Structure 1
Amino acid sequence: MHTLPATDIELAAWLRLSLAPGLKPAALRLLLSAFGLPEAIFEQSPEALAGIAGEAAARAVLAPTSPEFDAQFATVIAWRELPGNHLVALDDPAYPPTLLTMPDPPPLLYIKGRLDLLHTRAIAVVGSRSATPQGVEDAERFARELSVAGVTIVSGLALGIDGAAHRGGLEGAGGTVAVIGTGADLVYPSAHHALARQIAVQGAIVSEWPLGTPARAANFPQRNRLIAGLVSGVLIVEAAMRSGSLITARLANEMGRDIFALPGSVHAPLSRGCHRMIKQGAKLVETPDEVLEELGFAKPSAAASACASPVPRDGEVRADSAPAAASAVASSAITAEGQRLLAALGHAPTTLEILATRTEMEGAVLQNTLLQLELAGRLTVLPGGRFMRASHG
């Protein structure tokens, strides 16, 4: 190790701490405030460490590194060299200041993309993976308008509401941050590869997990606490009663963040989680302006909004121009993408994820093609966000 530059020696110490099995971030924070930098922690006696953070933490710190450590360290250094990749330790000025208000900020963050987006005003937009078409539309519209107002949209890159929130966030000046539950070198779910690539260029992807960490159910609640930590408020668009978004909301509430929820029909299963949050004190919101107002974020002038309104690309149908587009699409022939999608639909109800896999279309193209086919009367949207050919299609 002695041949490494000083910054890499420091990074190796941070990596050792972040990989130490059983060392909880809260205990690590106590040790750092007592002894300063990671290298100093490794120089302490077991008694000194135990006196500050308890015996379990002392054992975790002083446990020998695993045989794979050198290889892991080399992988991390190689990953950091790739354009757009950053490793940010707890003592780095680039570390997101809002996370420092958490009791257990991660010691090391793996970030792809724009570091500046972790120092901006931000709102989380989260919700169900099996969102309804209306929920997807609402999430994208709220995210777009909040982003146009200069607010960064934070979400978890999951299917459904999260994906829609990221797509909306990318359309405004605020941009978007995806907090993921895998290593920063992996994309989960695979249907979001194209979206993740776009976020890595125009926004930021953040992970606290070591490179190569696969998607594990246990990682996602911890990912949710990071989403909550990065933002001033959390907006829940659609959520069932037992939903990960409600965990995010609860964690955010414990950190003193504001919780907002979109109401829906009393008959809709995905409104029940939102209604429950409203009963427990979340603010019922109907427009993006209400969210901005509650958080004290200034709205942009009408002129700025008009300039920021993105121009649809060729062949795209903007959801807000749907009625006008409906007649145009209905009267025109189905596009090549439409034909491909109809072929992929088969004759059984199919989810968005399956369609994305079968067609290999990028998220935005897939959504727009689905919308075109729906407006042309060629497919039907079923409850639970599944799609089926219209009986005459």
Structure 2
Amino acid sequence: MFSYELQHKSDKSKARAGLIKTPHGEIETPIFMPVGTVGSVKGVCPEDLNALGAQIILGNTYHLHLRPGDEVVAHFGGLASFNNWNKPTLTDSGGFQVFSLGKLNKITEEGVHFRSHLDGSKLFLSPETSMEIQQNIGADIMMAFDECVSYPSERKYVEESVELTARWAERCLKAKTNDAQALFGIIQGGVHKDLRQRSAEQITALPFDGFAIGGLSVGEDIPTMYEITEHTTDFMPEDKPRYLMGVGTPEDLLNGILRGVDMFDCVMPTRNARNALLFTSAGRVHIKNAEFRLSDGPVDKECDCYTCRNFSRGYLRHLYKAGELLAYRLNSIHNLHFYLSLVKRARNAIKYGFFEDFYSETLDKMRPGGNNV
């Protein structure tokens, strides 16, 4: 069964560390969750993820429903069995994909009618169908079906969306039939603080197992994203996990942790890896650049990942420029290690009472002109 234990709190900020228990294992928070959209974290295999210390990965409800079909995943015993991960999994609700397919959808009280991005066929998602699909996928943590509003949007529309999301949240709870799966509610409200508070109060009044902040990192500026995150966590209970959806950069993770967030996900580590952008303790490295042609050092001298232990920047540049598939794997291993190591070190800093110093020192080093790799 699912449970959450708050284990450590900073006395200088909202930073916190906890432990989530699921049927497929435990998750130490704060945690970063690699994204496996169609049941695979791009560029790496489960053995890589285990070696990296990943504790939970994501699957995408919309994409798995289309391919291979959630009934197929159910046939193989659920996502963790289907992809041989055998650790905790989380599925989004499909709401963000509906948002991203805005030109192809029609939102009603009942749900959303839209067309497949694959073949244009007509599809329908509602709170009930989202729950059915996610229960077939068998994730340890499911997300309530919500409406993610674009930025900028008129306040009246955001207000109506908050109310719709609350009604859909209640329907999700009623449609959930598998007690072994946890269900998180999602707080919306755009960049309006009063609407964020209203949504938080509505959603947290319902018996969800955890709560997420949705509808950020959709076009607003970064200071606003941090400000809304800070404001929203004020209205989220301490005894349940807090998840900031779809965010983001290493800097975003640290700022989210500072503001009381426990869980993060983003495609950025693997997507950037496939485009030759690597994250390091001293900032970003564009490994395809000519300056690394004869460079015999690792990507990051402070990193102990498989890639940095075994390969030079010059070799990684060569692989990428030659179009070798190994470039994607080695770059992805490094970026995922960087993210997972970052949240692990943040957890230890919270545990031992020096998170704010860790936060400041780590950000200073990652800024341009900080400490050369």
Same fold (TM over 0.5): no
Question: What's the TM-score, normalizing by structure 2?
Answer: 0.28
**Structure index of larger Rg:** 1
Question: What's the TM-score, normalizing by structure 1?
Answer: 0.27
The structure carrying a bigger helix percent of its residues is 1
The structure carrying a bigger strand percent of its residues is 2
